[in-house]
Amino acid sequence: MPKVDVYDIEGKKVKTMDLKEEVFGIKPNEAIVHSVLVNYLANQRQGTQSTKTRSEVSGGGRKPWKQKGTGRARQGSIRAPHWVGGGVALGPKPRSYNYTVNKKEKRLAIKSMLSSKVLENELVVVDSLNLKEIKTKEMARILNNLKVEGKAVILLPEKDEVVQKSARNIEGVKALQVGTINVYDLLKHKNLVVTVDTVKKLEEVYA
């Protein structure tokens, strides 16, 4: 069973906590993580790119020259794809890139990322994050006390506007809730900062 140290907001160790093996101690499945990541990125695409076909560009209603006798190749319209200003053949049109993956795969990908954070000592557990007011400077101080360097995700058990707004102006730091956790953010951000309540919520949801 994996164990982690729990710190207070001053960076002092207060206790050691056991983590559930089935959530934080599995062997990371890289193939599943990649599959779920590709799905997430595909679902973020807007799919609004568009080109005009020869029927949509203006002009070209008249035959440019007669069929025979000019010595030139026969042409029916100056808006055919091979003409400058002509329509685009087989170009992109608005479409949806969305597709779904199995719920079990999504759960396994999240558990793989959580276990990976534990293995690589990138999981920081704090006893609580109770800020009295929205203050970016205070949040930056707490992260510094916890020795969190580089990009980090602060994962909260539920919505907390004070913490989320205090963190949003710190470069490379993102505050999320357990219900909005995703593989992309866990991969993009090196460190994962969680509270004791967040760990309990994760174990409740993913065990």
**pLDDT tens digits along 97-135:** 999 999 999 999 999 999 999 999 999 999 988 888 999
Q: pLDDT tens, 71-96? A: 999 999 999 999 999 999 999 999 99
Which of these CATH numbers, 3.50.50.60, 3.30.930.10, 3.40.50.300, 3.40.1370.10, describes 3-46+100-206? Answer: 3.40.1370.10
Note the pTM of the prediction, 2 decimals.
Answer: 0.82
Note the pLDDT of residue 150: 86
Q: Is the pLDDT of residue 207 over 90?
A: no
Q: Is the pLDDT of residue 45 over 90?
A: yes
DSSP for 99-112 reads ----HHHHHHHHHH
Q: What percent of the chain stands above pLDDT 70?
A: 100
Please give the order of strands across the beta sheet that includes 191-195.
Answer: 13-18, 3-7, 123-126, 191-195, 152-156, 173-177
SS3 content of the chain, % helix, strand, coil (to 5): 35, 15, 50
Please give the average per-residue pLDDT across 129-158, as a whole number.
Answer: 91
Domain boundaries, the chain: 3-46+100-206, 51-91
